[in-house]
Structure 1
Amino acid sequence: MNADHRLATRRAEALVELLDIPESYYRLAAERYASVSEWLHRPDSAVARYGPAVYAQGSFRYGTVIRPLFRSDEYDIDIVNEFLWLTKAHMSQKELKALLGDEIKAYAVAKKFNHAPEEKNRCWRLDYADTVKFHMDILPGIPEDEVFKRRLVEFKVPMELAALAIAITDRRHEKYAVVDQEWPRSNPRGFAGWFEGRMRVQAQARIADLLARRVYSKADDIPTWEWKTPLQRAIQVLKRHRDVMFRENCDIAPISMILTTLSAHAYEGEPGLFEALTNVLDRMPKFVRQKAPRIPNPVNPAEDFADRWASDKRLEPAFWNWHTQASADVAALAIPYTMKKLQEFSHQKLRLDMPGDIAEVLADVLPAEAKPARPSVVIASPPRPWANR
């Protein structure tokens, strides 16, 4: 890595520190979904006998959460409640969702929430009224049948990931209200396992350090957000760049699952953040297929994360425009900057206010007014060899 790339990596790392969330937020999120899990397992719970298993999905699971662009925005905690001892033969999607909904409503009353849970198409939403603006989306699900899991294995999905597939609820589904074998499908734990596998080697040094410092007693206790790999950091930067670029028209912004999936595919274990950003963006296009599924879910290849590109013709050009701009802006991390210009770059591209002391260290050009004058030599009494001629 040359000197310019080392400086660019330090700049990128400084930007990530500004857009990352405090570790306490991750711990608070974990406490909140653990509280829901405890509620569902309490002695008088109506669902405890169905084996509710609560686990995180999405950016809190992957360790790629970033600060909201606007103060009014909320953090979205996505969790799954999988009823391990239910099957599609027991009830309809609608009945399953109502079963969980009754418990979540009772939880909100018991915990004195200001608002009742809101029913969304797939999940139930809890809004937390405190200084950290969280809402929690709780998705009900049941284990997917063995026939579908075997089909995933035939599509080259590793057996250990295919085994984690679940059936979920969606009130837009045509069979939502009837007992039927056809349910929407998902595999959040399988995707998390695939994602973690793309960076596990790079996480080993961090894991060893956490164990050596006795922050955790064993490796299995270390959550993925603690890994802080170049892949996770790169995704955080790219998500923030996306948010800023599409702040006026967020309806056409590339979705986070597309950025996360393509970045993980393109990552090849680069140890430095600037190198990871540069190479991920460079390789990303080759993982976009020319025909559907354009960007397949790696743990369910029939699912297309870019399925809306066909129905909304604005979305694909928006993705490629973002990719072009992101590539240019990442490359610009390696060019010379004064302290002021580096701060302007940080604000313009990521809406991050880089403190002056940090920008001063990461700048490599003095401002014009601070440049030292060309050295001059002044001789007080110069000899005058021609004075008497």
Structure 2
Amino acid sequence: MNDLNIAIASADKSRLDEIGLALASAKRRLRVTAMQCAPQRLGAMSSQLSQHAADILVVDCRDGDAGALPVLEQIGIQYPRMAMVVLSSCESADFLLQAMRCGVREVLPSNADGAAFHAAIERIAAKAVKAGAQQEQSGKVLAFASCKGGSGATFLAANLGYALAAQGDARVALLDLNLQFGDAALYLSDGKAAATIADAVQDISRLDEAFLKANMMQVRFNLDMLAAPVDPARGLEIKPEHIDALIALAVRHYDYVILDLGRNLDALTIRALDHADTIFAVVQATLPFVRGAKRMLGIFESLEYPPQKVELVLNRFEKDAALSVKDLESACGASIRRTVAHEPHVAEAAANQGIAVMKLAGGSCIARNLENWAADLLGKAPVEESRWFNRILKRA
């Protein structure tokens, strides 16, 4: 995207002028088309969007009118390559989620200035370039999202990171992006992190490989972890652009970058998810988790993530559970590719001691599940098959 075609829609002509001026101060060459109409009547103006080949549609929902969102959803279906930006005075999480589900890419405040428009346009343009070029990153980004609180996503993120690092020389980074209540460090170490993500981004201009590593905890020679802030208030200092910079730097220096995102979906979390090659959505075999999974999968679909980007992971799996894997797949409308066994005594012992499961209980079912998961990601044979082959070689 070099020169961009932008259509702006508002029922108020003075608002069209204000938005046009703000866009004019953005640092990009833009061709702007103004359409004076209420957001709810945009469906009747879709021919203009087609005529002007709009790359971005900016819609003025000044009072947070959610009634316009279904119309935008239909326009998004009609023009899937056009990004939609909503201007709204409503900043509630509920409105943001509704907008995302309807395919809105960015929600900006009603009084957004040129800098805010420029930042949003650059994010949209960067995503379009990435999708078009389909260039492989040097490192893979794996994001863990919990479909409901208490899923064990953090436990899995930390222990999969250890399993990836332990099976060879792959360089692994674990970033704890649960900024208010993150505790990934507790699953791999009984020590206190000397620095956190808040320290790493405090002076973003200094961020380079050396500065990043200086703020990380070294779990083993090829596994580093960036801890969440101890003080939840410091998590509020972290902005989406900080997340962009951290992940962009990490993928240049690590083979695998694991993101532990927690439960909440907000602008910062979505920015991190945009970078992910694979999102592991963690569920358990209960109806509340099924409901949570269906909602989360719906949000991912509204964010235009391809189905192959998202994998459901069944944690605390029991063969005789009331809900079988097939039941869960049918209820969620998605397949479950990975399961991790339910061994509470093993998981609790590892968590209480701050030791990875593979290190504490290498022969446990959980450890084997994680080893095979890591082997699959690394393109290696399953662990049991590899051990069997090695025994055959020793006999020969």
Q: TM-score, normalised by structure 1?
A: 0.29
Q: TM-score, normalised by structure 2?
A: 0.29
Rg larger for: 1
